[in-house]
Amino acid sequence: MGIIEKIQQIELEISRTQKNKATEYHLGLLKGKLARYRRELLEPAAGSSGGKGQGFEVSKSGDARVVLIGFPSVGKSTFLSKITNTKSEIAHYAFTTLTSVPGVLEYQGAEIQIVDLPGIIKGANDGRGRGRQVVATAKTADLVLMVLDATKGKDQRAILEKELEAVGIRLNKERPNIYFKEKMTGGIKFSSTAPPKYLNEKVVSGILRDYRIHNADILIRDESATIDDFIDIINDKHIRYVNCVYAYNKIDAVSLEEVDRIAREPNTVVMSVEKDLGVDDVIDEIWHNLNLIKVYTKRRGVAPDFSDPLVIRCGSTLETVCNSVHRDMKNNFKHGLVWGVSAKHSPQKCGLNHTIEDEDVVSIVAK
C-alpha cells in the first residue's frame, strides 16, 4: 500500500470513530500516525533529487512575504496586479496562473513581497498535480492571504484550511506551550504544571512509542493543550504557525446583507478588486497582521531620516536593529541611544537586549 492510501485509510477510520472517552486513546494513536505519514509525504524520498517545490521557489525579498492562497478564479492575480507593478495573467477560466508570480507592495516604507500562486482545489495536498507544491509554498509565508469568492459557498474556507493543516500549517494559532525533549535514557517522564484536560501519560506514551521514541521529558504547561497540540510538538520542525487574513473578493456581485454577514467573520476583510472597493482596507489589514514595526536610525549630530525606516518584526531588540544595519555592527557595539515609546527617558542608554517599539529612533554608539 502506498503512503497516500495509508493516509486515506487512517482519515477514513478517524471519521468513522465516535469521539468519546473510550475512543480517545485509539484516536490519539491514529492522529499521531497520520501526522507521521503526512510528514513522510512532504519529505523528498532519500536519494531523489530536488522533489520539493520545483518551479515554485521564489527567492524571498523585501521585509516580509505574503502568499495568496485560494480556489481557482477567485481573483488572486487580479489582486496582485492591482496592488503591485507586476502583471499576472487574469482570465475567467480556472487555472490561469500556472506558477508562482511575485510582486512587491510598497507600504509604510516597507517592501512587502506578494506571491500569486495557482489556484488549489480540495485534495490539493494528497499528491495529485501540483497542488501539494502550491500548498507547501504557504509554509514560507510570513502571512497567508486567503482569497475567497463572496459569491461561492460557505465551505470554501474550511476546505482550504484543511489543505493547509495537512502540510503542517497552523493558521492564527500560537505554538502549544508544551516542553518536549528527547533523551538517550531515562524512559518517558510526563509532568504538567496543572492537570491537563485532554492529555495523559498513557496516550502520550502510546503516540511516542509509534514514533519509536522511548526516552523523553514532557512538561505540559497549558492545561487545555490537546492531543493534536502534542503531536504538533513532536513534529515541531515540520509545523509552521502563520497568521492568516481572509479576504472575500467580488462583493460587487452579492447583496449588502451578505457582505455584512461575511465581514463579521473573524480575521476577515471584504473587497471588490474590479470595482476598487475595500482594497486599501485589505492592505491595511495585511500590514497589521505582519506585526512589523518601523525604526529610524540616526547618526550623531544629524536628524534621523524619517523617509527611510528600518522595518523589523514586532518584539525585536536592538540586536536585530544592529544586524539589519550592518553584519559587523554588533561586534563594535558600545551602547545604543533610544528615543521614543520604548525609552524611559529621551534618549535612554540601552544594551543589545533592549526591546524596540514602533517609531523609535535609534543611534548606535560604537566602541
Ligand X SMILES: Nc1nc2c(ncn2[C@@H]2O[C@H](COP(=O)(O)OP(=O)(O)OP(=O)(O)O)[C@@H](O)[C@H]2O)c(=O)[nH]1
Of positions 102, 119, 131, 278, contacts ligand X by CB under 6 A: 119
Q: 130 or 354, CB closer to ligand X?
A: 130
Residue 114 near ligand X by CB under 6 A: no
**Residues 117, 120, 126, 127, CA torsion sign:** negative
In whole angstroms, how close is the CB of 120 to K ion at the nearest point? 13
Q: Would you say 140 and 240 are in contact if contact means Cβ atoms under 8 Å apart?
A: no
Residue 273 near ligand X by CB under 6 A: yes
Of positions 35, 67, 75, 97, contacts Mg ion by CB under 5 A: 97
Which residues pair with residue 145 across a beta bridge? 68, 245
Tell me the site size for K ion, rule CB under 5 A: 3
**Residue 242's closest CA among 87, 108, 104, 64?**
64
Q: 73 or 317, CB closer to ligand X?
A: 73
Of positions 41, 66, 78, 287, contacts ligand X by CB under 6 A: 78
Angstrom distance (rounded) from CA 64 to CA 290: 8
Residue 73 near K ion by CB under 5 A: yes
In whole angstroms, how close is the CB of 75 to Mg ion at the nearest point? 8
b (16+ CB within 10 A) / e for 82-111: bbbeeebebeeeeebbeebbbbebebeebe
Q: Which cell is 350 given?
A: 540601552
Of positions 28, 38, 58, 77, contacts ligand X by CB under 6 A: 77
**Residue 240's closest CA among 132, 140, 100?**
140
Of positions 30, 31, 63, 73, contacts ligand X by CB under 6 A: 73
In whole angstroms, how close is the CB of 4 to ligand X at the nearest point? 24
Q: 13 or 274, CB closer to ligand X?
A: 274
Return the SS3 of 105.
strand
Q: What is the dihedral of CA 251, 254, 260, 262, to 10 degrees?
A: -70
Query: Choosing among K ion, Mg ion, ligand X, none, which partner's interface includes residue 278 (Cβ < 5 to 8 Å by kind)?
Result: none
Tell me the site size for Mg ion, rule CB under 5 A: 4
Angstrom distance (rounded) from CA 87 to CA 297: 34
Residue 249 near Mg ion by CB under 5 A: no
Which of positions 249-268 make contact with ligand X (CB under 6 A)? Answer: 249-250, 252-253
Q: 28 or 118, CB closer to ligand X?
A: 118
Residue 77 near Mg ion by CB under 5 A: yes
SS3 for 344-365, per residue?
CCCCEEECCCCECCCCEEEEEE
Q: Which amino acid is at 199?
A: L
In whole angstroms, how close is the CB of 67 to K ion at the nearest point? 17
323 — phi, psi (to 5°)?
Answer: -65, -30
Q: 126 or 252, CB closer to ligand X?
A: 252
Residue 72 near ligand X by CB under 6 A: yes
**Footprint of K ion on this chain (CB under 5 A)?**
73, 91, 96
